[in-house]
Amino acid sequence: MNVQLKADHVWFHYTDEEGNRTSEDVLKDVSLEIKKGSFTAILGHNGSGKSTLARLLNAILVPISGSVWVNGIETRDEEQLYEIRRHTGMVFQNPDNQIVATIVEEDVAFGPENLGIEPQEIRRRVDEALRAVDMYEYRLHAPSQLSGGQKQRVAIAGIIAMRPDCIILDEPTAMLDPRGRREVMKTIRMLNEEHGITVVLITHYMDEAVQADRVVVMDDGKIIMDSTPGAVFTKPELLQAVGLDVPQAAELLQSLKEAGLPVEVTAIDEASCADVIMNLFA
């Protein structure tokens, strides 16, 4: 089976404990299929429904109507929640809210301990996970001594120690400085490329989204674009219309085009942008 996550005609609004509606429709007929081993970025301005979709894909929430499947298991099936959680890990914005222990390696062990894994195997997984995120030498440190990027990598290690085949990250770099962002993005790419873990990355940063192999753009509870980074980011008018930034390379080409120069917006990175400009003089 090649499909990791699937949403089929999903509608969602929030409700209180009595089941009374507490929001407008937040997701409106969303359908999405995410392949195993893929790297998908989800973009959209504030309130467009990204985090809600992430919570549905991790079975924290269930649809009002429509269905969500994780590894072929429908999330409405409450008896299978354990199985679903074992397959899909979630990383959130604030590393401080995700770290529970006072020593790095104990924090990473927390998830596998909850899965009831043998102590020896936990030891092995914790070391392996900390090496994978390049935090092994900090294993005996207190998380409070670490930088934001290091804490977020520890949080990611805690997830990979559970050996998920999919990780959903909801703006994992939003609270980090540029260096922390780069470290975390490198870790995310490594998980995808070297370990074959399916990655869903919710982000506000275009330079992060261009690293994915697929970009899904949400607006007002709907998916309005779903394509490769190259195809999405070379449509600056569409992105700007839904309040999103455009990669600088594409923005520059767009300005040149609007100024009447014979260029097409085909580049999203600096090197290919330079090629397009050089071609003007060729």
Ligand X SMILES: Nc1ncnc2c1ncn2[C@@H]1O[C@H](COP(=O)(O)OP(=O)(O)OP(=O)(O)O)[C@@H](O)[C@H]1O
Interface residues with ligand X (CB under 6 A)? 14, 22-23, 26, 44, 46-52
Cα dihedral angle (114, 115, 120, 121), rounded to 10 degrees?
A: -140
Rounded alpha-carbon distances, angstroms, from residue 79 to 47, 58, 187, 258: 31, 15, 33, 57
| Cα angle for residues 81, 63, 25 (degrees, 5° grid) | 150
Query: How many residues contact Mg ion, by CB under 5 A?
Result: 1
CB closer to Mg ion, 26 vs 253: 26
Q: Do the beta carbons of residue 201 and residue 184 sit within 8 Å?
A: no
CA 49/CA 162 separation, integer angstroms: 27
* CB of residue 206 to ligand X, shortest distance in Å: 14
Give 218's strand partners.
223
CB closer to ligand X, 50 vs 85: 50
Q: Do the beta carbons of residue 34 and residue 6 sit within 8 Å?
A: yes
CA 187/CA 174 separation, integer angstroms: 15
Give the range of 46-54, 142-150, 193-201, 251-259 binding Mg ion by CB under 5 A.
Answer: 46-54
CB closer to ligand X, 49 vs 172: 49
52 touches Mg ion by CB under 5 A: no
* CB of residue 232 to ligand X, shortest distance in Å: 17
* CB of residue 15 to ligand X, shortest distance in Å: 8
CB closer to Mg ion, 71 vs 173: 173
* CB of residue 88 to ligand X, shortest distance in Å: 17
51 touches Mg ion by CB under 5 A: yes
Q: What phi and psi values does residue 74 have, to the nearest 5 degrees?
A: -75, 135
58 touches Mg ion by CB under 5 A: no
> Going by DSSP bridges, is the β-strand pair 214-219/39-43 parallel, antiparallel, or unpaired?
parallel
CB closer to ligand X, 150 vs 203: 203
Which residue ranges make up the site for Mg ion (CB under 5 A)? 51
